[in-house]
Amino acid sequence: MIYLDNAATSFPKPQCVVDAVSNFLTHIGATPGRSAHSLSIQSGRLLYETRLALANFIKQEDERRIIFTSNATSAINAVLYGLLKPNDKVITTALEHNSVIRPLHTLSQRRNIRIHIIESSPFCEIDLDSLEQELKDARVLICTYANNVTGAVLPIKTLRELTHQYGVLMVLDASQAIGSLEVLAAQADIICASCHKGLYAPSSLGFISLNPAFDEEMLDHFMQGGSGSRSENIEHPIELPDKYECGTPNMCAIAGLYAGIEWLNQQGLEKIHTSQMALWNQLYQGIFSLENIKIYDVCASHLATLAFNIEGFSPSEVGLRLDQEFGILTRVGLHCSPLTHKSIGSFALGGSVRISIGAFNTAEEIDKAIEAIAHIAHCLRR
């Protein structure tokens, strides 16, 4: 089996992550902050140390401004519902995941939020002149750091400068970028991301990072309940991070996240990214000249993700053949980002086949993927 679907979730996980999850389940297992016994204290210590490790990883000055959520989608929803007020204008792009587009659509119906979507070129370039014009009367810009279909990286530094210039809050979805590129707390007012992709944690864990300069009073409580603190009060605690966290945290995933961050720090982001991009270049060079292949190129910098189609076959047919005949696992379809596919011209085709390379892929695996794609591309349909 060759796993090339790392933009969906990273696999395999580093052995240290597997061991950390097993150790928690075997030797700790308790809920943090709810009891005074030794296992609960160990669990609480692990929660704090993981929060601190993640804060250090993204250079967040105050670890209390790291908020754990159940995934990136819940993080984004929490921020949008907690931040946007009736009649606010919010800007986003045509390169977003449905975890951004769908809650914005619902908020436009429930709160009369005004949404402006900045169009993208077929090469995943956004119109910065149009964006600047729209920023003049906007309250929030929410955008992805890197597109999940093509891997295209947005000009985050420029976007941050523009939002500063016009006094607009910037919310960044870093789910695809974190673990491959440097993601820093200072790059936006609020960052949301998943932990099961580039951070190598198990699934069902995400986070929100609040910039130290961001006024937390602008972000309403998005959930209330048991926090293990201030239990005598009917009002939910206002201290961070409890203000935005309640209920039992996913300690198995948090244990895995701590190990995943340690592993990333040992390996080094630059080393991982360089290795992944070398494999991407190998893949691109191996298939771009094949007959019947359409690669959805991007002009900007990008991650080790490549979207393509084979003429005469639907993406689903290609993905099925890669899986059943060659043991190669990819992602097909619209990838929860229909606006991206409309931008790059693949929507009417049912999307594309996406290959996303991870830290554990090898040159030999990429060669086998090239051979498999070439075989399918050369098949004549009856």
Look up the CATH number of the domain holding residue 39.
Answer: 3.40.640.10
The 10s digit of each residue's pLDDT in 58-77 is 999 999 999 999 999 999 99
The 10s digit of each residue's pLDDT in 46-62 is 999 999 999 999 999 99
The 10s digit of each residue's pLDDT in 180-192 is 999 999 999 999 9
Query: Is pLDDT above 60 for 226?
Result: no
Q: Considering 243, 267, 291, which residue would you say is the last residue of a domain?
A: 267
Band the pLDDT of 223: cuts 50, 70, 90: confident
59 φψ region: left (φ > 0), alpha (ψ -120 to 50), beta (else):
left
Verify that 263 and 196 share a domain, yes or no: yes
Strands of 305-310's sheet in order across = 293-295, 305-310, 352-356, 331-333
Neighbours of 271 (CB within 10 A): 12
pLDDT > 70: percent of the chain: 96
User: Strands (DSSP E) along 217-287, which ranges?
Assistant: none
Q: Considering 218, 239, 267, which residue would you say is the last residue of a domain?
A: 267
Verify that 308 and 233 share a domain, yes or no: no
The 10s digit of each residue's pLDDT in 116-164 is 999 999 999 999 999 999 999 999 999 999 999 999 999 999 999 999 9
Verify that 127 and 250 share a domain, yes or no: yes
Q: In this predicted structure, what is the pLDDT of residue 225?
A: 64
Verify that 253 and 295 share a domain, yes or no: no
Verify that 121 and 25 share a domain, yes or no: yes
CA–CA separation, 338 and 353 (whole Å):
14
Q: 19 by DSSP, 3-state: which?
A: helix
Q: Considering 251, 267, 283, which residue would you say is the last residue of a domain?
A: 267
Q: In this predicted structure, what is the pLDDT of residue 222?
A: 75
Amino acid symbol at 241: P
Verify that 108 and 169 share a domain, yes or no: yes
Verify that 121 and 259 share a domain, yes or no: yes
Amino acid symbol at 212: P
CA–CA separation, 4 and 360 (whole Å):
10
CA–CA separation, 84 and 68 (whole Å):
20
Q: In this predicted structure, what is the pLDDT of residue 6?
A: 99
Verify that 182 and 308 share a domain, yes or no: no
Query: Is pLDDT above 60 for 105?
Result: yes
Query: Is pLDDT above 80 for 238?
Result: no
Tokens of 268: 């080094």
Residue 124: give the domain boundaries: 15-267
pLDDT > 90: percent of the chain: 88
Max Cα separation, the chain?
A: 73
Record the pTM.
0.95
Verify that 224 and 85 share a domain, yes or no: yes
Verify that 291 and 261 share a domain, yes or no: no
Helix pair 315-326, 363-378: axis angle to 10 deg: 120
CA–CA separation, 348 and 20 (whole Å):
44
Band the pLDDT of 228: cuts 50, 70, 90: low
Verify that 46 and 146 share a domain, yes or no: yes
Q: 321: domain CATH number?
A: 3.90.1150.10
Number of domains in the chain: 2
Query: Is pLDDT above 90 for 253?
Result: yes
Verify that 149 and 197 share a domain, yes or no: yes
